[in-house]
Amino acid sequence: MRFNYYIIILLLTIQGNFFSQNFSISKTGNQTFYFKDPQNRNQILFSSDALVETFNGLTSDVWGEVSFDPGDVRNTIKGNISVSVNYIKTGIDLRDEDLYSNRWLDAEKYPTISFTIESVEDVIVLGNNKIRLSLTGPFKCHGKTKVILLNADLTLLEESDLTLKRIPGDLLSFVAKFDINLSDFGIRNIFIPNRVSDKIEIVVNIVGTNKKPE
């Protein structure tokens, strides 16, 4: 029994060390990653699947910061990702004008949509320097705020000849998919539900660097 007890303790210790070592890189201490890409390659996509019409919207005007200690991501991660409403494009100019107007997102009054990381519900190690986090925090849109839960896959790459082709510095890939309901943010207009669905699917695909912009 004593032998089995020590085996269990050993396994739990190994498991705890494995899951606490979320990222393995040469640097220690808090790292901050910046998501304003000067070449506008970061993208956030939203999809609406309504009764009459299905369409996508896309923006590359994305900015924000995410920071954490690579050895303890769960307890140290924080950050904020934002987009400008006026830079969301749906492929049809007239529809974009409706999108920006006070009948929909009201870009003049509420120019920014954002998500802030507040806490981590779960951490899953997916592979070498790749983890999945269940993140909670306030999502702000149209002057309203709602706490949401989303799953984000984070991959950390130390600077190399390959990563330098993208941007200098260590890189953090942030990929997430989640849904929101427009009605939660006070958006109800003549387009819903026929032309715009209440449920909007959002896909985030962005890369940040720990080299602070000048």
pLDDT of the chain, 214 residues: tens digit per residue: 444 444 333 333 334 444 444 787 777 889 999 999 999 999 999 999 988 889 999 999 999 999 999 989 999 999 999 999 999 999 999 999 999 999 899 999 999 999 999 999 999 999 889 999 999 999 999 999 999 999 999 999 999 999 999 999 999 999 999 999 999 999 986 666 678 889 999 999 999 999 988 7
Entry pTM: 0.86
Architecture of domain 2-209 in this structure = Beta Barrel (2.40)
Integer Rg of the chain from CA: 20
Other CB atoms closer than 10 Å to residue 139's CB: what's the count? 20
Strand ranges (E), 11-143? 31-34, 43-49, 54-59, 62-68, 78-84, 112-117, 119-127, 130-141
Q: Where are the domains of the chain?
A: 2-209
**Cβ distance 89 to 59 under 8 Å?**
yes
